[in-house]
Structures are given as structure tokens and as C-alpha cells.
Amino acid sequence: MNAITEKKYGKTALKILHCATDLFAEKGFDGTIMDELADRCGVNKASIYYHFNDKAMLYEVCMTHLFKQVADQVISQVDKADSAEQKLKTFIYEFAKGAYQHKQMPATLMREIAAAGKNMPIPARQQMQRLLQTLKAILKQGEQLGLFRTVDPLMTHFMIIGSLSFHITSEPMRLAIQTETKMDPTLDEAIGHVSELIYHALLNN
């Protein structure tokens, strides 16, 4: 059942997984057509079906792996930080970095939430819940130490992942429009702004 990380994938299978993750993020589950995927990764369609049962199963493997990768990275780094303040900053920083490096993740997240998780594999959803639990623990710790105000953890979570997801995924659109003379914030600037805004929002007094 859980063929996600256990089995070793060969070169072809990995190529398929990579391209499929990109294409699913770009076009969504319904918008992705298997012939196009085969073309993109220079692999015959039959090869895809040789390695993966069907489109839904391929989607599940891709998305589970994608979300786990980012969640693992965030959580392992947060665990290394010691103060609540540092943990919070690390959470924001690592999520932003992970989401930027794997842009397919915020794109899929937004699409899946918009679709009420219609195609969202349960393991992928669980990775998002791990992240929420991690943030909750940070907020609780900071609150108990008298550092942070009492805030709603879910809305705080949405503020962080929402603003960063919007920022990262809207980048191509913003660059395409380019009506403004003002500079678009870069990722590092965006991380700085979010960090700073959230930090101010949480700080006691």
C-alpha cells in the first residue's frame, strides 16, 4: 500500500515521478493528460502504466512524496532550534524555502484546498497536519513562557502558509504583468516580511 518511499524506483520511474509532479502542479489532476506526460519525460505511455497502476495512483505517489519532503525539512529544522522565538522563525523560514524549492507543493496545496481535497491523498494531507501540530506546539510554548500573546493557531498557520503560498505561486503571474515600477519582493524579502509581520503580531506588547 505504501509504495511511496520504500521501494527503489529505477531511472525511468524517477523521471516519470519528477515530470508528473511538475505537470500535476502546473495543470492539476484533471488538466494533466497522460500522453502529454509521456511526451514530456520522453517515455512511452505504456511505461508509465507499467510502473504505476493508473493516474490516481501516480498522483498519490507524487503528492505524498512532495508533501513529506517539505514537512520533514521544516520539522527537522524546527526541532534543532531551541527557543520558541527561534522555532517560530525557523518554521517560517524553512516552510518558505521548502515551498520555494518545491513550488509544486504550494500550487497543489492551493488547488486541493480549493477542491475540498477531492483528489488529495490522505498521506499528503497528514503532512499538512503535522505542520499545523508543529506550529501549535511552538505557539503554546511561546505563550506559556509569556513571550507570545494568545492567538488562534489555525489562523496563524493560515497566515504563514497562505501568504507564502500566494506569494510563491503568484510569482509567474506578477512577473508576466509587470505593471508596477516597484520591485517585486524576492523570496528572501518575502520571508523577511512575513517573519516580521507574524513576529509583531504575536509579540506580547
Partner DNA sequence: AAATAGTTTAACTATTTAGTTACATTTGAC
Partner DNA sequence: GTCAAATGTAACTAAATAGTTAAACTATTT
Does 6 contact DNA by CB under 7 A? Answer: no
Phi and psi of 148, rounded to 5°? -105, 150
What string of DSSP letters covers 148-194?
A: B----HHHHHHHHHHHHHHHHHHHHHHHHH---SSPPP-HHHHHHHH
Choose among a second copy, DNA, none what residue 145 binds, the Cβ cut-off being 5 to 8 Å by kind.
none
Stretch in the footprint of a second copy (CB under 8 A) among 45-53, 68-76, 89-97, 102-110: 102-110
Nearest Cα neighbor of 141 from 92, 87, 84, 91 is 84
Phi and psi of 106, rounded to 5°? -60, -35
Does 123 contact a second copy by CB under 8 A? Answer: no
List the beta bridge partners of residue 203: 148
Does 13 contact DNA by CB under 7 A? Answer: yes
Does 64 contact a second copy by CB under 8 A? Answer: no
- Comparing CB distances to a second copy, the nearer of 72 and 152 is 152
Choose among DNA, a second copy, none what residue 151 binds, the Cβ cut-off being 5 to 8 Å by kind.
a second copy
31-90: contacts with DNA (CB under 7 A): 32-36, 42-47, 49-51, 54-56
- Comparing CB distances to DNA, the nearer of 47 and 163 is 47
What is the CA 179 to chain-centroid distance, rounded?
A: 28
Name the site residues for DNA (rule: CB under 7 A).
10-13, 32-36, 42-47, 49-51, 54-56
